[in-house]
Structure 1
């Protein structure tokens, strides 16, 4: 019931000066309605203590996570030039709903972010909502020119961003959905129900949040996504 569609279509794009690959897969799940129904039933969505995510989450079906590795692991290893013979493993997989009002965002939630500085991890965003909720964009940090944050770059990037925020420009209380003095948007991918977006987890990115499910957190009315991290080791 929660398996992926064997007839899904995949397109590869490259973004920015660093030409990082992004995969867009249409009709990702065989039965997206079953995933939405799962979101509506059973265990409730909750906010996780210490999580920087701007909303609430609940675990995704285990069959779904397993199928990502089985169906896409080898292909994604090749397309994203992951280490040869590395084994794909889904280390995180959860249904997510954006609930935080813009004026309640912490400063770190107002700028593009990266999930990890490790080069062997991919992020998978599976949209279970329409384009009116907003897709995802990737960015370049203007001062450093960085579009991805590697382990070698993280110290310089963090110091530069901290200095800018403290002395030059304080990001307003809003979701990042445009260029600003600190970041340039280099590509944008629209949300579409049952579309999946896959990109390296160390890419600077941000959700184009246009609707917040507060106080209504019904999955069918919300910006519902299924977020996964796949690591190659």
Structure 2
């Protein structure tokens, strides 16, 4: 069994964070109408501290050659980071992070695809070291697991846990994991990271959501309290965003 070792904060320090995970469907709604600015205004209205974003375009033809993370940062006033899965339509397709707090370092980690797709043999995870008030640091991670292959998702969970096995910071892991909480792969992941969405609030599709496939998971030793969880009924993507107000130790 792979253990994820994460140190909790000491000295009575605690930090409240509003966290969001959002699959933005390349900045378009389910009818492929551009909605990136609406997403940005919505995110800004929720005042999150940190956001993990999946299905992000950077300078792609289909999304008007927009640098989507830069645009969202402009709309929200937040720091941002982007990493690509692969080149796409003259730009890149990947993952992003928005953060109220400084992003000290970013790193791309590879997740293998057991069935090679048209864009290669792997996708990426985005790892970011974020500095919270009091010079405390967390590792914030976002990922997008395989949509169609359970064996690949199981492999991706093992890779995720291996990457986290030597981490000495509290971890917040967000993503569209394309699997419901009752599946083997999510059960394995939750042996090491605690989901904040204990009520299993569904996030997909955006209209009448029926599946819980978007996640916010936290190092158990670092999670003091989950104050609220919601999936607001907005229709800027084919997913609803998942938000949580949490206290870290």
TM-score (norm 2): 0.25
Structure with the bigger percentage of strand:
2
Q: Which has the bigger relative contact order, CA under 8 A and spacing at least 6?
A: 1
TM-score (norm 1): 0.26
